[in-house]
Amino acid sequence: MKQKIPVTVLSGYLGAGKTTLLNHLLSNKQNLKIGVLVNDMSEINIDAQLVEQGGLKRTDEKLIQLENGCICCTLREDLIVEIDKLADLDIDYILVESTGISEPIPVAQSFTLQEDVLGIDLSAKTRLDTMVTVVDAGSFWHDYQSGETLLDRQQEAVEEDEREISDLLLDQIEFADVILLNKIDQLVQEEVNQLYSLLHTLNPDAAIHQTTYGKISPDLVLDTNTFSFEKASQSAGWVKELNHEHIPETEEYGIASFVYRNRRPFHPERWMNWLEQWPKEVVRSKGFFWLASRPNTSGLLSQAGQSLTLEAAGPWVAAYSEEDQKQLRAEDSELDSRWHPVFGDRMTEIVFIGIKMNEEKIMHELDLCLLTDEEIKQDFTALEDPLPAFV
């Protein structure tokens, strides 16, 4: 049986340098026969000749453009179909350049879902080897702090695409096995170092390389054997912090992270006021919170640059029937160990990652958002709640 063909996926925002990297890899691939999949959302300037030199016979089949320019939803289907075709060719490796606005998880899932989708099981023929994210060092801060959506920039994948650019950049960074901090020629070394430290804090498991024009040794991005869905989903810095794996601070650049934990609920109005004056030094924040007025549902806060979302993260176990609570606690020792005699599993745990944050001040301000000793004795679930409904 033919061995599974390893696949490297290149992600990164528009113009970060994915195509430049792809061409560099094709020029330096030595004896590897590489099949390439790009999509036609942006202009394609892949040097087709380079693919031909790789021993593929018909360029058409090697350089497959996805018909539908959107990888995040419908294109996943196309991806599966086109990769399936590539995998039947005489090639050793597949390189996929996803569009600058694609989310990495659906792409990864197309390879890892072990079931027939459209009558194809990609996981039987291919093996997702490496997720590479190219970060544009020169425009990272501009894009991240812009507060713009893809719609504002007319880069939407579907009509009304309200995804914030900062959220997309973070998804791509947090899910990567390898991050290329590209275009470092556009910054001074001090700025590069700071960005490098930040990327490391956002994704401590990723290998990070500094590049210009995607010039990197191919063995650092091809056949690295680093992708695993489990690992990729757990590699974000905020996940590690929540799991008590503190990320060492890089004091030189003031990049740090900490967790705010408390077993009292937030007062809705005070919490909302605080959210409205979000500290600018916080670059990334994510975690769960307990809102006094919503005793049944845990809230999930996610902030990336200027984008802040609050959504429901599921019911608190403490809102279940006594019988269900008992059973769940018996099945889950971790849940049982943090069970509070009155409040059960309700609590707040939020990770903050940022640059030169005033941890003490943030902690203190958050403490002031909690219910007071007086308030906690009242029926706090009836408190006025100006926050939007959870999505």
Ligand X SMILES: Nc1nc2c(ncn2[C@@H]2O[C@H](COP(=O)(O)OP(=O)(O)OP(=O)(O)O)[C@@H](O)[C@H]2O)c(=O)[nH]1
Q: Strand, helix or coil at 385?
A: coil
Residue 19 binding ligand X, by CB under 6 A: yes
**16 binds ligand X per the rule CB under 6 A:** yes
Q: Is-contact 97 25, C-beta < 8 A?
A: no
Contact at 8 Å (CB) between 274 and 351?
A: no
Q: Looking at beta carbons only, is 50 or 371 nearer to ligand X? A: 50
- Is residue 142 within the footprint of ligand X (CB under 6 A)? no
Tell me the number of residues near ligand X by CB under 6 A: 17
Residues 100, 287, 305, 354: which binds ligand X (CB under 6 A)?
A: 100
Q: Which of 18/346 has CB closer to ligand X? A: 18
Binding mask 179-198 for ligand X (x = CB under 6 A): ---xx-xx------------
Q: Does 172 bind ligand X (CB under 6 A)?
A: no
User: In the complex with ligand X, which residue's Cβ is closer, 35 or 214?
Assistant: 214
Angle between the N-to-C axes of helices 268-276 and 359-369, in degrees from 0 to 180, rounded to the nearest 10: 150
First to last CA, the chain: 47
Binding-site member from 15, 55, 295, 344 for ligand X (CB under 6 A): 15
Residue type at position 250: T
Comparing CB distances to ligand X, the nearer of 181 and 236 is 181
Question: Binding residue for ligand X (CB under 6 A) from 40, 213, 225, 233?
Answer: 213
Q: Listing from the earlier edge strand, what are the strands of the sheet with 297-304?
A: 255-262, 348-355, 282-289, 297-304, 307-315
Candidates 6, 17, 237, 305; binder of ligand X (CB under 6 A) is 17
- Three-state SS string across 32-59, please? CCEEEEEECCCCCCCCHHHHHHCCCCCH
Alpha helices in the chain (DSSP H): 18-27, 48-53, 59-62, 75-87, 104-112, 122-125, 140-144, 165-174, 189-202, 229-234, 237-242, 268-276, 322-331, 333-337, 359-369, 373-377
The least CB distance from residue 14 to ligand X, in Å, is: 4
Is 139 a binder of ligand X (CB under 6 A)?
no
| One character per residue 33-52, x = contact with ligand X (rule: CB under 6 A) | ---------x----------
The contact set with ligand X (CB under 6 A) reads 12, 14-20, 42, 100, 182-183, 185-186, 212-214
